[in-house]
Amino acid sequence: MSCSSAAACTAVGHFTNRHGAGVLLVERWEGTRWSIEPIGKPVGAKTSLLFDVSCVSRIACVAVGSVTDRRGVTIPLVERRSGKHWRVQRTPGVGLSSRGVSYLGGVSCASSRDCLAVGFSGNSAGTVGAPFAERWNGVGWRVEATPVPAGASVGFLSAVSCASARLCVAVGFFVNRAGAGKPLAERWNGNRWSIEPVPSPVAAAYQLVGVSCPRRDSCVAAGFLVVTGIEVMLAERRNGGRWSTQRPLYPAGATGVQFAGASCPSSSACTAVGSFGDVTGHDEPLAERWDGTSWAIEPTSLPANAVSTSLAAVSCTSTTTCTAVGTSVNGAGMEMTLAERYS
């Protein structure tokens, strides 16, 4: 989800066709309505997925994901919109084997000539592998080496945010020697990646899934940890290169809460979205806002006939305007796209 202005937003994802295969989906908000945009299917694809998008203007966007061929090999997918059309971009193949998995889960563009995408490359089970990153320089994509935490058996980067071409922060998680998930943050300085320490509760599996950096010295990352089987959302704030844990509000009656994404139009205004489980076992949408001092729950709307609803991504173009997207499931079990606006 990415908005270059309040009247220009692009959301990406996929839908499942009648053969059970994933098909690319791109929708665009033009200030009054949403419309589906045509996007080409990668050659030889059995299943294609898009996970994230970054737009620097209404006609310049980059979307990332994965494509799986009929042999079961999964490789990164990049689609670029320049003008009116989306086109598949050639990217380096980084599969570890003929049955490996490589994908890009997050992307951020500082300009139309400078983008960073992050993801994972490893085995198909996700038990062995490492985070990786690719960079667009206006001409082509190249892999940029990402460090792996000491003792990690596997690591993932889920999201990235660039305050400038020389300051990008990516977040995710890694699995340590004890088999526990721990938060991971890496910083790009224009030349190389380095790991930044992030606070982590000792007795919990913890991962970061979204990040937003409105300035070089300010970022907010959203995630969740699992304590005795219960999911609890958390946020981390980066101030001048140091991360500190924040405690968002836990919705009353929730049986588990996850953040899925975050967007900060300024260092004192951030919105995080996700979902929480209610007492009936269904999901309800969640939006929380940071005002520079504390977090507060924002009211969200429920679609008619929805029995389960979640928000997956958010983009804020100002402190008073945000757009969030996700999914809702009706009583017949049909899953549908969802968009909500805050203004």
Count of Cβ atoms closer than 10 Å to residue 173 Cβ: 27
Question: How far is C-alpha 189 from the chain's CA centre?
Answer: 21
Residue 261 maps to a domain: no
| Confidence grade of residue 96 (pLDDT, cut at 50, 70, 90) | very low
Comparing 201 with 229, the larger pLDDT belongs to: 229
What's the mean pLDDT when you consider all of the chain? 93
For residue range 167-179, what is the model confidence (pLDDT) as tens digits? Answer: 999 999 999 888 8
| Residue 12 falls inside a structural domain | yes
166 lies in some domain: no
Q: Are 144 and 95 contacting, i.e. CB atoms less than 8 angstroms apart?
A: no
* One-letter-per-residue 3-state SS of 35-98: EECCCCCCCCEEEEEEEEEEEEECCEEEEEEEEEECCCCEEEEEEEEECCEEEECCCCCCCCCC
- Closest among 102, 110, 111 to 51, alpha carbons compared: 102
pLDDT of residue 202 exceeding 80? no
Q: Cβ atoms within 10 A of the Cβ of 303, count?
A: 14
- Which domain range does residue 60 map to? 1-104+133-146
| In-domain check, residue 62 | yes
Q: Among all chains, which residue has been given the structure tokens 């799986």?
A: 68
Dist CA 175 CA 173 (whole Å): 7
Q: pTM surpassing 0.85?
A: yes
Residue 263 placed within a domain: no
In a domain, 248, yes or no: no
Residues 301, 236, 294, 303, Cα dihedral to 10°: 0
Provide the pLDDT for residue 94. Answer: 52
Residue 154 lies in a domain: no
Residue 283 lies in a domain: no
Whether 229 shows a pLDDT value over 90: the answer reads: no
Domain count, the chain: 1
pLDDT range class, residue 93, cuts 50, 70, 90: low
Residue 166 C-alpha from the chain's centroid: 20
267 is written with which tokens?
Answer: 């260092």
